[in-house]
Chain A
Amino acid sequence: MARFILRRGSLALLTLFGVSVLTFFMFFAVPTSPAELQCGRDCRPAQVQNIERQLGLDQPLWTQYGQYMKGIVVGRTIGQGDTAIKCEAPCLGWSFRSSEAVSSIVGRALPVTISIVLGGAAMWALLGVSLGFISALRRGTWIDRSAIGFSLAGASLQIYFVGLLLQVLFVYTLKWLPTPTYTSPFESFGDWIVGMILPWTTLAFLNSAIYARLTRAQMLETLSEDFVRTARAKGLPSRQVYLRHALRAGITPIVTIFGLDLGVSLGGAVITENVFGMPGVGFTAAEAARQLNLPVVMATVLLAAFFIVLTNVIVDWLYAYIDPRVRLG
């Protein structure tokens, strides 16, 4: 186990380092001046130079990168004189657009994304696996065809279409639901659920297709295997045969895909968040990219990379739990 953690941890750090270098230097390839953007429309060259000094943009690139990474580990001071800012570790930088620490921005956006993605993922996994499971057991029947047809419809549509359609129907026309809005579950659990219903439903409808197809295929394959026949021959009830033996054996690739989907989505469900006007990590990242707000772009990209790396590690660990034949090492 220790070896597993050490190996995967080192690999994760290496990946994050690579992503940070790429993002940082790619940003400076853009032919624009963040200081000019920060300074606004009626700005004199002296003011631009002052902002460049404050942002540290007058330093060599490697120095800027080194200061950025140092800030993550031990914190740093940004700017000079009375207006200098002490940015505590882990300092992800300072947004001069909104005059606040990037960690505050990310800290505010992350719960929104986590709420959307965890709820949506639970729904799409449950819906997809259930549909696939039922389809496999009722292969060739109208239930099978309906379930797969439903999930395929979801896979064929786009989130900006379904999301808007559901809003027009349930919010603007029928007025059954309020505008999708994020409320902290610790503030009001009921409002949190109600505000999230549409994003969750949309994500579940669109993303469950692949899980349904995969579960169906895996179930059909494992149901024909010898160990399932043996379990049946031993007189185990059908429920135990399907759930404890067939599904457990067939679910490994589904867990892999789920882990990747979860990691990617936690890094920012850009379209979902924009369609529903929810300022999560994806919404924030898109806005920061548009505004060329480097510190926020860096932080959101690193966060996305972190989640992908993290979910991969968890998936690897889950393999061993689900399938006793797999050992960590």
Chain B
Amino acid sequence: MLSVGILAVALAAAGCSKNTGEDTNSGETTKAETQTATLAENSDGPAPEVSGAKKGGTVTLYTSGDFEHLDPQQNYVVPSQTTGSNLLYRTLTQYRENGDGKLEVVGDLATNTGEESNGGKTWKYTLKDGLKYEDGSAITAQDVAYGIARSFSPDLPNGPHYIQQWLAGSADYNAKYKGPYNGGAKVPPNVQVPDAKTIIFNFPEAHADTPFAMALPTASPVPPARDTKIQYDNRPFSSGPYKIQTYNRTQKMVLVRNENWDPKTDPIRHDYPDQYVVDFTRTAEQASELLISDAGAAQTALTFQDMTIPASVYPKAVAQAKDRILTGPTQYVWQINFNTQRVTDLKLRQALNYAIDRQGLLKVWGSYAGEPGSTLLSPTTSGYEKYNAYDGGPTGNIEKAKELLGNKTVKLTYAYRNTERNQAIAAFLRSSLKPAGVDLTIQPVDEDQYYTVIGKKNNQFDMYMYGWGSDWPGAGTVIPPLWDGKRITPEGNNNTAYLNDPKTNEEIVRILGLSDLTEADKAWGALDKDIMTRLAPTIPVIYDKQTTLYGSKIGGIYLSKPYGNSGLNNLYVK
């Protein structure tokens, strides 16, 4: 049973590190472990001072496009979650990281990570004293409830759906409640707000991961009077250390200090820079060149969002700015999923697992952007256990694959996202799998349509690349959405292997019901191995890595474990 206090995810120190300029494709990355602790004072502010940090200056974030959503209840993409949760809004719980790999979940708005009762079904949160919005008004539990109520609205469909589904006790969380608009209640079903400082969740089922879920922006407060509904994306009302001064979509966003944010209530965030500027107009090449040159404003800038150093610029970056590259693993695993409705032969799936040339694939992918992967869970996810069910060596075992295939030739169709990198990967797969007897037809799918197309149950492809990262460092946000056959619908699927295995489905239900996270982690790790060994529905190929380039006057930078992105909490201008 989870104690009141801190739920900590401790990560071995090998992960977040500065780049040495060498490829580190050893396959030995971080291993995540979960543990519970009872240090309630870790939820108290202020956050520990960052050594050498000082106030002042402007930090610029270079990105090649605007945020998809900054509305906290629609915010479901890593960079916008980092920006929102580090700078703009607070949540019931949040992650505290000090940059050395240690990660803790602590109370953010709440005094702790939640008080559990009723076998993990009921969770009570009490808000701290002195919490204020940017206008100086008090943050209330009613506002937190209202924020969660908004996330039910069909007009705001893009955020995570965990809390809604848990409260509804069903994947179809809109069956009985459609949010606070058009006459809907301001407090969602199964939520109680007895007073301005207390919010209680009564889930129909036990959810041991609740402290993690409450760190999602879904659990961010929104005062009803400030709710501009679908336009809230353009001006979320701040409860964090910064507020929006200007936000010109697709051009630039300027954040300035929120004078009403009280650091004494916040155990995580700092407000060292005077301003943050997010420049949405730079290509990855431009931004990298600017940062390598380290001229002018680039000295206090960094690449952000999905902008990683392009392969064409990477050697130059290593040669000229080696000590200004931050690299480390993210929570994402890239895998080549089999459409198991079409590729029904287990031996064929196992053969391709043996045949895959991960070393060659990684060269095409960009050797600095990942490491060879063999498991469903990322090394940064709790529950991860290292194994390779079909160890064909770094370049694959063609002979073993041919043996499993009985020396026959099979024809398969591989769909790929029509981008430069994926074109090269598709061509590589076609040529590298040919000696095993696989005649691969490669078929491009429009970049923006890709996930929609392969998310349709009746898609006509046999294999495709799929990437998934945990929503918090727990396997409960990886295995169930990707491998639970009962979640398969005609469209919008994340289980794009369309695996519907009764034993797996039952085990998922069992593990989700466990209240002991350590036991759950072990079970997820075992299930990961069981799925691969018994069913081989995919070929895990790459553990993703994030690479950030930053200016010489940036201090306090670190790779955030839960977000897989540069953390902004400790940044300062030297």
Contacts and interface: CB of A to CB of B under 8 A. Distances in A.
B423 interface: no
Contacts of B452: 33, 36-37, 41
A33 B455 CA distance: 14
Contacts of B293: 171-173, 175
Contacts of A37: 448-449, 452
B295 interface: yes
Best-buried of A41, A48, A284 by chain B (most CB within 10 Å): A41
B41 interface: no
B290 A172 contact: yes
A324 interface: no
B231 A100 contact: yes
A98 B157 contact: no
A237 interface: no
Best-buried of A37, A79, A277, A290 by chain B (most CB within 10 Å): A277
Contacts of A44: 172, 489, 491-492
A40 interface: yes
A83 B490 CA distance: 28
Contact of B286 (A36, A96, A277): A277
Contacts of B71: 99
Given A32-B446, A292-B448, A41 B455 contact: yes
Given A37-B452, A290-B448, A99 B230 contact: yes
Contacts of A66: none
Given A42-B161, A44-B491, A50 B234 contact: no
A139 interface: no
Nearest to A273: B281
A32 B450 CA distance: 11
A314 interface: no
B410 interface: no
Contacts of A172: 289-290, 292-293, 295
A328 to B, nearest CB: 41
A198 to B, nearest CB: 12
Interface string B481-505: 0000000011110100000000000
Interface string B532-560: 00000000000000000000000000000
B181 A83 contact: yes
Contacts of A309: none
A278 interface: yes
A173 B292 CA distance: 10
Contacts of B290: 171-172, 179
Contacts of A226: none
Nearest to A37: B448
B154 interface: yes
Contacts of A173: 293
Interface in B208-267: 229-234, 248-251
A2 interface: no
A54 B155 contact: yes
B490 A50 contact: no
Interface string B422-439: 000000000000000000
Interface in B276-323: 279-283, 286, 289-290, 292-293, 295-298
Contacts of A39: 157-158, 492
B51 interface: no
Contacts of A99: 71, 230-234
Contacts of B177: none
B181 A45 contact: no
B205 interface: no
Contact of B155 (A36, A45, A83): A83
Given A46-B154, A277-B282, A287 B161 contact: no
A277 B281 contact: yes
A81 interface: yes
Given A32-B446, A43-B492, A45-B492, A175 B157 contact: no
B249 A82 contact: no
Nearest to B155: A83
Nearest to A108: B248
A175 B295 contact: yes
Contacts of B251: 108, 279
A270 to B, nearest CB: 14
B491 A45 contact: yes
Contacts of A15: none
A36 B232 CA distance: 21
A100 B250 CA distance: 12
B407 interface: no
B451 interface: yes
Best-buried of A41, A99, A173 by chain B (most CB within 10 Å): A99
B174 interface: yes
Given A39-B157, A179-B297, A291-B448, A100 B492 contact: no
B399 interface: no
Contacts of A231: none
Interface residues of A, number: 46
A1 B190 CA distance: 73
A222 B523 CA distance: 90
Given A37-B448, A171-B293, A279-B281, A47 B250 contact: no
Interface in A61-98: 79, 81-83, 85, 96, 98
Nearest to B251: A279
B567 to A, nearest CB: 24
B118 interface: no
A179 B289 CA distance: 11
Interface string B145-176: 00000000111011001000000000010100
A43 B231 CA distance: 20
Nearest to A81: B182
B154 A47 contact: yes
A178 interface: yes
Contacts of A98: 66, 233-234, 249-250
B354 interface: no
Contact of A284 (B250, B283, B490): B250
Nearest to B154: A50
A168 interface: yes
B76 interface: yes
Contacts of A290: 448
Given A81-B181, A85-B230, A278 B158 contact: no
A304 interface: no
A50 B155 CA distance: 7
A105 B66 CA distance: 13
B413 to A, nearest CB: 19
Nearest to B295: A175
A294 interface: no
A196 B506 CA distance: 63
A298 interface: no
Interface in A137-181: 167-168, 171-173, 175, 178-179
Nearest to A30: B446
A150 B286 CA distance: 28
A12 B296 CA distance: 47
Contacts of B174: 46
A51 interface: yes
Contacts of A284: 250
Given A98-B249, A172-B290, A40 B233 contact: no
A287 B229 contact: no
A153 B172 CA distance: 64
B289 A168 contact: yes
Contacts of A36: 449, 452
22 contacts: A32-B449, A37-B452, A39-B157, A42-B76, A44-B489, A46-B154, A50-B155, A83-B153, A85-B230, A96-B230, A98-B233, A98-B249, A100-B234, A171-B290, A172-B289, A175-B293, A179-B290, A179-B297, A277-B281, A283-B281, A287-B250, A291-B448
Closest 8 CB pairs of A and B: A82-B181, A277-B281, A172-B293, A98-B249, A175-B295, A99-B233, A47-B157, A81-B182
Given A41-B452, A99-B232, A105-B250, 17 more contacts: A32-B449, A37-B448, A39-B492, A41-B455, A79-B230, A81-B182, A82-B229, A83-B181, A98-B233, A99-B233, A99-B234, A108-B251, A168-B289, A178-B295, A277-B279, A279-B250, A283-B250
